[in-house]
């Protein structure tokens, strides 16, 4: 399979640019749970997601995490190629949340294409703007939405991603997504259970009253 179908701007590229992208793109398969990119390590390259699901997050000195955004089929991740741009002054880590197929386009190749092509540079701009928008949304959530609302929204989102009402996720993992402590998550989940919105069993959270969770999350 070619990456051509994963670049909406493909039709606007010249034959040389297409050839460069196609021959540089390295297919990779990563198992669920793999740390695909670690901010402090090398600048691997652009990720183009063919299938699966990745999670981009930041890490505090004390090891706490916050999920910044997720990447799904057809998404492109720039920040795994952060050395492309000197102004990217932050580090993220990326892990596979599901078995994932992706292409890696080496940073130097993409940087050179971008420097010579306004089409590619502008497309890159749009990708960055869309991640920027996700991060601005996250700031609004953190600043202005109380934790119960955020947690309700998170459970509903997970349920869509997993296509199930029974979520196999630990309290620790939820805490890592939301940038809080496990105890805080457990306390709120216990409250949700006492209100009959969910049922907690070993290693699983089952959504019982979707409507109330939705109302709470809004």
Which residues touch 47 (CB under 8 Å, ≥6 apart)?
A: 36, 37, 54, 71, 76, 77, 80, 94, 102, 103, 104
Q: Which of 50, 55, 131, 150 binds its own copies (CB under 8 A)?
A: 131
Exposed/middle/buried for residue 61 (C-beta within 10 Å: 0-12, 13-18, 19+) = exposed
3-state class (DSSP) for residue 126:
helix
Q: Which long-range contacts (CB under 8 A, 24 or more apart) does 140-146 make?
A: 142/179
Q: Which of 1, 11, 15, 143 binds its own copies (CB under 8 A)?
A: 143
Token code pair at residue 5? 């179908």
Q: Is 117 one of the binding residues for its own copies (CB under 8 A)?
A: yes
Q: Is 16 one of the binding residues for its own copies (CB under 8 A)?
A: no
Residues 94 and 47 sit within 8 Å (Cβ to Cβ): yes
Q: Is 122 one of the binding residues for its own copies (CB under 8 A)?
A: yes
Q: Is 153 one of the binding residues for its own copies (CB under 8 A)?
A: no
Q: Is 107 one of the binding residues for its own copies (CB under 8 A)?
A: no
Q: Is 14 one of the binding residues for its own copies (CB under 8 A)?
A: no
For its own copies, how many residues bind (rule: CB under 8 A)? Answer: 41
Q: Is 172 one of the binding residues for its own copies (CB under 8 A)?
A: no
Q: Is 144 one of the binding residues for its own copies (CB under 8 A)?
A: yes
Q: Give the x/- contact pattern for its own copies in 49-88, rule: CB under 8 A.
A: ---------x-xxx-x-x-x----------------xxxx
CA 9/CA 24 separation, integer angstroms: 17
- Residue 102 has phi, psi (to 5 degrees) of -150, 165
Q: Is 4 one of the binding residues for its own copies (CB under 8 A)?
A: no
Q: Is 89 one of the binding residues for its own copies (CB under 8 A)?
A: yes
CA 127/CA 121 separation, integer angstroms: 10
Q: Which of 86, 201 has the CB closer to its own copies?
A: 86
Q: Is 146 one of the binding residues for its own copies (CB under 8 A)?
A: no
Q: What is residue 128's DSSP assignment?
A: H
- Footprint of its own copies on this chain (CB under 8 A)? 58, 60-62, 64, 66, 68, 85-90, 114-118, 120-122, 124-133, 135-140, 142-144, 179
């Amino acid at each position: 399979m070619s990456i051509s179908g994963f670049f909406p701007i493909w039709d606007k590229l010249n034959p040389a640019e297409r050839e460069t992208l196609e021959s540089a793109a390295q297919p990779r398969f990563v198992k669920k749970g793999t740390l695909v990119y670690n901010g402090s390590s090398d600048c691997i390259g652009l990720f183009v997601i063919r299938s699966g699901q990745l999670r981009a997050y930041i890490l505090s000195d004390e090891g706490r995490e916050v999920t910044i955004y997720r990447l799904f089929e057809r998404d492109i991740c720039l920040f795994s190629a952060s050395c492309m741009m000197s102004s990217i002054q932050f580090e993220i880590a990326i892990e596979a949340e599901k078995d994932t197929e992706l292409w890696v386009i080496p940073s130097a190749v993409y940087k050179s294409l971008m420097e010579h092509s306004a089409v590619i540079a502008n497309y890159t701009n749009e990708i960055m703007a869309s991640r920027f928008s996700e991060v601005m949304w996250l700031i609004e959530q953190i600043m202005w939405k109380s934790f119960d609302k955020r947690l309700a929204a998170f459970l509903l989102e997970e349920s869509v991603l997993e296509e199930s009402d029974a979520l196999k996720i630990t309290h620790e993992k939820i805490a890592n997504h939301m940038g809080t402590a496990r105890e805080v998550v457990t306390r709120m989940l216990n409250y949700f259970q006492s209100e009959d919105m969910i049922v907690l069993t070993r290693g699983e959270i089952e959504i019982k009253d979707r409507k109330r969770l939705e109302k709470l999350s809004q």
